[in-house]
Amino acid sequence: MDIKKDNPMYENRPRYAGVLLHITSLPGPYGIGDLGNEAKQFADFLSNAGVGLWQVLPLGPIGYGNSPYAARSSYAGNELFISPDKLVLEGLIDETDIIKLKNAINNKKQEGNINRVDYHLVETHKLPLLKKAAFNFINKLSTNTNDSRSFNDFCRREAYWLDDYAIFQVLCDEYYDARWHTIWDKGICKRDKNALKKLQSEKSEKILVWKVLQYFFECQWLDFKSYVNNKGIKIIGDIPIFAATDSSDTWSHIDIFKTDKNGNFTFKSGVPPDYFSVTGQLWGNPVYNWKRLKSKGYSWWVDRIRRLLSQVDLFRIDHFRGFDEYWSIPQSHLTAEHGTWEKGPGADLFKALKKKLGKLPVLAEDLGFLTEGVKKLRDDLKFPGMKVCQFGFEDMKNGSLDARHLFLPHNYSYPWVAYTGTHDNNTTVGWYNSLNDNDKQVVALYLNCTGHNIQPKDISWAMIRAVLSSHAQYAIFPMQDLLCLGEEARFNTPSTCNSENWSWRLWELPDMELTKRFLSLVNLFSRGD
């Protein structure tokens, strides 16, 4: 007899624990986290801690500002994730190459903070080495039938995005910039067939290199995913609702975005003034021409989600409310304060996606002000929404707390996705330290932290415990909160171009003490296997 199964006193709905850590934040000797040994060792930590979910940010190649939410492609992988160690094992580069790369990274890093990614440094030294490996791979194709067959299969299968992306990256190198719509040759901008044909002939080897780099990413990512899944861990991916202005998506599919008769973008995306910014958030991404997308059966979105589903097990949709209504800002505006709400595709898009791809494993990022229309769309589609514990304390007044606030853990219901904070929040320690004394007392009282010597780290773990004990289906924590790190470890500050955004890294892999501590809580609240 299964007591839990047959006894109505037991909760039978599964609940999960997860950790949020982007690949770039993994430790390692090459200036940026990658898909090498440290990635698998972090999966070992999660497995040993009883954690079943690893959440990452969008996987695409970054452009200006280093934001994974402004990738140069909605389909490609970030080449900087490629592990040089694996390329050595495959004989594509040798140990002397590795030593030179380590020296270049480490000598520079001695001058600054080594737990930050210096993207310029990494791109300057790591990317050329990856390209060297790609050239070596190309030279071996004629003599290695298996590699040749596998690579050619990959190119055929992914041609619908790979061809344009590889050309786009070559042009970015040629022009030293990705602003294709303002500084590139007009024939190339307009995708003139003769201009493209000439370019493909003249730059064929460079184009091939970028395809090989994507093949390296594909092979390493699928190997990594297999390892993680075999540990009983599912990967939660992330997909931005909008495509970046400076991307192969806009260059190759300009017709699905709102433009004027000359092909110039007419509106851009963002959100009006909110919790994060008094002038709103001006993202700058071009907005979609949803009528045109619908006329094509939403094929671009179908391809985009299909590609993501080949890489992850579940995925978070960023800015879910934009599918109901999105904030459209005239292209000339410098802030997001003045725009208009425009209707999105609503359930129609998701019906088309379900018809082509089946049931979608979606987590909806539904933070911010929500209309009844957004709530209905989310609930009709049965997508879990998000709760952020830090936000539950945002309305404290005169040392009192609104216990009815929906972001406080005792109010979470199934099947919400609950966080202490997200990649856009301050760390819990940093957030707590920013409060005044009265508000600190309220937070401590709610989290049952008593005594005269309450430490910020006590608050971090108490909040983790509160979220784990809630009824939310998913309880996910930024790695910084497990480590009780302060504001210095914040990953991103929205509406800023802070050079430290997206750059925080682990010094080292978590130790056994942290593993045991987190495991005890995961087991206590039945969020393990």
Q: Which residues are catalytic?
A: 318, 365, 424
Neighbouring CB atoms inside 10 A of 369's CB total: 10
For residue 146, which of 94, 93, 90 has the smallest C-alpha distance?
Answer: 90
Check: CB of residue 312 under 8 Å from CB of residue 236.
yes
Residues in the chain: 529
For residue 56, which of 359, 514, 363, 360 has the smallest C-alpha distance?
Answer: 363
Check: CB of residue 195 under 8 Å from CB of residue 203.
no
Instruction: Dump the DSSP string for 204-260.
Output: HHHHHHHHHHHHHHHHHHHHHHHHHHHTT-EEEEEE-SS--SSSHHHHH-GGGB-B-
Alpha-helix residue ranges (DSSP H) falling in 255-359: 290-295, 299-309, 347-357
Count of alpha carbons within 13 angstroms of residue 204, beta-carbon side: 5
Strands of 417-419's sheet, edge to edge? 362-364, 314-317, 234-239, 53-55, 16-20, 474-478, 417-419, 386-388
Which residue shows structure tokens 């909008």?
Answer: 242
Q: Which residues contact 98 (CB under 8 A, 6 or more apart)?
A: 84, 85, 88
164 vs 194: CA distance, rounded Å:
15
DSSP assignment letter at 268: E
Check: CB of residue 138 under 8 Å from CB of residue 209.
yes
What is the maximum span of the chain, computed from C-alpha positions, in angstroms? Answer: 75
Q: Which residues contact 495 (CB under 8 A, 6 or more apart)?
A: 276, 277, 279, 280, 281, 282
Instruction: Dump the DSSP string for 76-102.
Output: ---GGGS-HHHHHHTTSS-HHHHHHHH
